[in-house]
Amino acid sequence: MGVQGLTGFVEERGVFFTELRVRDTKLVIDGSSLYHRLCFAPGADFRHGGDYGAFAAAVRDFFGILRSCRVAPFVVLDGGRGAEDRKLPTLRGRAAEQLRAAHGLSRGAGGCLAPLLTREAFVQALGRLGVPFVQCFAEADREIAALANSWGCPVLSLDSDFCVFDLAGGYCPLSHFQWESVRGGDGPQGCYVPARCFSVDRFCRHFGRLNKSLLPLFAVMNGNDYMDLAALEAFFSKVRLPRGCAAGKGGKHLRLQGLLNWLSQFAEPTEAVENVLKYLKKHQREEIRELLCISMEDYAPSDVNLEDFFQNGRYECEAARKANIPQWVLDAFTKGKLAPFIINALILRSTILRVQVENMQRPSAHSAALPIRQVIYGLLLRVSQNTEAASPSTQTHELPVVCEFDRCQKAIKKTFVQAASLPTDFCDDRFALDKLMEMSMSCRQMLLLETLGVKMSFLESIPSHLQLPVAVTCYWIHSSEPKVNLHQLKALLLMIVSGEVDRRNDDPVLHAEEDSIAYNEFLKWKEKKMQNNDFDLDAAHSFCQWQCCLQMGLYLNQLLCTPLSEPDLSSRLYTGTLVHRLYQELKSTPSVENLFILSPKMTQLYLLLLNTVES
């Protein structure tokens, strides 16, 4: 969520902020804002598909700084789109913006685009660091505000909606949270993070003692992620908005500040709404009243008690109950063990596939993973097509179909995808969604591996944490179009081995002298070769397909309650800049294949991976 133009407006006028030293406190963090902020750090690469190890290191550094300042973080993540799907037009608009950014990056222009697996890498990093976090059923803003108010602590975000909530501990924008410039304290209190805190009281005083209860009405009238501003154009075209003392800072915020000044004449929202309706035609008034009232509810206190979740692990949500989601699914979802993709497919029969920097002349990179998604839909909809969890417009006699929003050339288009018929062995009641947890691990593993077209006997010699990536790689080779070439395959496997070298070097238990020598030689090679930023669009498209296959392989593995170990994205499993460089080097210098020859174990691992995949 976000109020149109409000961030720019308050940033231009520093009078709404107070200086804050963040230490010795709880801190409720908007997880979506934080991972985008860390992902979009200066110098980050957005063209080659993501450097997840570097991103995970930034996450680790951030929470390390908080720990040094004795700040107790609690991360709250957005979940699915919600049963009413009111935000779909906004999300489609954002998908179109991301597509334009991806197209620009593919042609060498600047721009920012979060790599495909950023969220998954962030959730894994939180788990490994032991940072308490929750994934909400839908939009998290109200739950973030309620938790922060129950503790009286600040909210850390980059969402202007938190200027509208009345927060006891205030709202700290991430743009003013100087965690990389931590300072020592003047005495026993110790170090702190310099920050600025938005004051809703100062904001309201600036507009003639505007009543705080009117801020939700201001937000929906000015335009946010849920409100169609066109419905109120008749009001804005007729009313005479006062400019007041806030005018004179340029024309772009005149409507916003005029609306705030106009609202300041009213004591409470009901009176203000009635005065808005006077400017509309009589036949429109009831519809607009209902629209305004429903939209203002987005800023009302949440019924979800996140304090109970963080203390006792219980997440109780009326919307989730109404959706009739199996309890194990909701429990896994709130703990980040299932992705929003799963909940959206289950409740809405609709998913949005995130675009990457790929070849826009070819079919979407997500096409390669379509059969995996169809199996996921098959597992989900065997239950949902006959329960209230199905979309209200869906009749039980219809075939299970999911609406996917994906790239087609340079536009976001929707297509309808039929769920897969599960193999005969998997069609009994054991594979009903509410009973998946009760099924044997060997059965769940069989379905996963049949979907990926791999036998367990091929994977038994592979380290357990690499079995899923190797199975996905086998699937990728068979499913990609155009076909994967040998240089691309070898580059990908060398990249995976480099992550293993990195991991062993950081782990005192696994560390060996030969690994150190190989690691240092690898670092020298990287320093010498990584300055070259050559970019092959077709290779990029192929590696994007691999990430799509890995993402859906992860999701299917999670839905089947992890019959294979979950690979660690934060241990440099995928490093886009490196795999592109290795690919370019292999084309001209085949001896790069011997990059880790000084470590017999890593050489053996590379050959094992290559032989397994080629066989």
Q: What is the C-alpha separation between 488 and 509, in angstroms, rounded?
A: 32
What is the average per-residue pLDDT within 354-382? Answer: 96
Q: How many CA atoms lie within 13 A of 543 on its CB side?
A: 34
Question: 147 and 49: one domain?
Answer: yes
220-243 pLDDT per residue, tens: 998 876 766 677 888 888 888 876
H-only helix segments in 406-459: 441-452, 456-459
The per-residue pLDDT for 508 is: 64
Cβ count near 92 (within 10 Å): 14
Asked, for residue 1, whether it belongs to a domain, the answer is no
Query: In this predicted structure, what is the pLDDT of residue 388?
Result: 43
Q: What is the largest CA-CA distance in the chain?
A: 81
Q: Does the pLDDT value for residue 112 go beyond 50?
A: yes
The answer to whether residues 369 and 255 belong to one domain is no
Residue 455 lies in a domain: yes
Report how many domains make up the chain: 2
> With 50 as the cut, is the pLDDT of residue 392 above it?
no
**Where among 282, 298, 314 does a domain terminate?**
298
Q: Clarify whether residues 162 and 260 are in a common domain.
A: yes
Token digits for 215? 């801020």
Mean pLDDT of 213-223: 93
Write down how long the chain is. 615
In a shared domain, residues 125 and 173 = yes
Report pLDDT for 245.
Answer: 41
- CB 43, CB 89: distance < 8 Å: no
Here the CATH number for the domain that contains residue 204 is: 3.40.50.1010
Domain match, 275 and 345 both: no
Report which of 31, 21, 17 is spatially closest to residue 195, judged by C-alpha positions. 21
DSSP state of 438: G
Q: Can you give the pLDDT at residue 401?
A: 96
Q: Give the pLDDT of residue 515.
A: 73
What mean pLDDT do residues 480-505 have? 92
Tell me if residue 406 falls in helix, strand or coil: strand
| pLDDT level of residue 430 (50, 70, 90 thresholds) | low
Do residue 332 and residue 258 come from a single domain? no
Q: Is 188 a member of any domain?
A: yes
Same domain flag for 592 and 523: yes
pLDDT above 90: residue 497: yes
146 with 255, same domain: the answer is: yes
Give the model's confidence band at 298: pLDDT under 50 very low, under 70 low, under 90 confident, else very high: very high
Confidence category of residue 185, pLDDT binned at 50, 70, 90: low
**Lowest-confidence region among 324-333, 380-389, 521-530:** 380-389
Q: How many Å is the Cα radius of gyration of the chain?
A: 26
Tell whether 331 and 275 lie within a shared domain. Answer: no
By residue range, what is the domain housing residue 425? 327-383+398-614
Tell me, yes or no, whether 304 lies in a domain. Answer: no
| 113 and 239 assigned to the same domain | yes
CA distance 127 to 308: 19
Using alpha carbons only, what angle is made at residue 397 by residues 395 and 399, rounded to the nearest 5 degrees? 95
Chain centroid offset of residue 205 CA: 36
Lowest mean pLDDT among 117-131, 223-237, 278-292: 223-237
Structural domain includes residue 389: no
Asked whether residue 393 carries a pLDDT value surpassing 90, the answer given is no
Grade residue 269 by pLDDT with cuts at 50, 70 and 90.
Answer: very high
Q: Give dist(CA 101, CA 240) in Å, integer.
A: 39
Mean pLDDT calculated for residue range 318-323: 93
Classify residue 478: in a domain, yes or no: yes
Where residue 514 falls among pLDDT bands split at 50, 70, 90? confident
What is the rounded distance in angstroms from the CA atom of residue 99 to the CA atom of residue 222? 27
Residue 241: per-residue pLDDT: 83
Helices (H), 417-485: 441-452, 456-459, 467-479
Q: Confirm whether 15 is domain-assigned.
A: yes
- Using the predicted structure, report yes or no on whether residue 396 has a pLDDT greater than 60: no
Please state the rounded mean pLDDT for residues 509-523. Answer: 77
Structure tokens at 60: 């680790």
Q: What is the mean pLDDT of residues 589-609?
A: 92
Q: Could you tell me if residue 253 is inside a domain? A: yes
- The whole-number pLDDT of residue 436 equals 85
pLDDT > 60? residue 385: no
Task: Say yes or no: 541 and 422 in one domain.
Answer: yes
pLDDT band at 425 (very low <50, low <70, confident <90, very high): low
pLDDT at 397 over 60: no
| Neighbour count for residue 524 (Cβ, 10 Å) | 10
Confidence of residue 29 (pLDDT cuts 50, 70, 90): very high
- Which of 417, 422, 388 minimizes the C-alpha distance to 400? 417
> What is the residue-wise DSSP string for 275-309?
HHHTTS-HHHHHHHHHHHHHHHGGGSPPS--HHHH
Final residue of a structural domain among 298, 314, 337: 298
Residue % of the chain over a pLDDT of 90? 73
At residue 219, φ and ψ (nearest 5 deg) are -60, -45
Q: Of 18-22, 145-149, 424-428, 489-493, which range is least confident? A: 424-428
Residues 289 and 331 in one domain: no
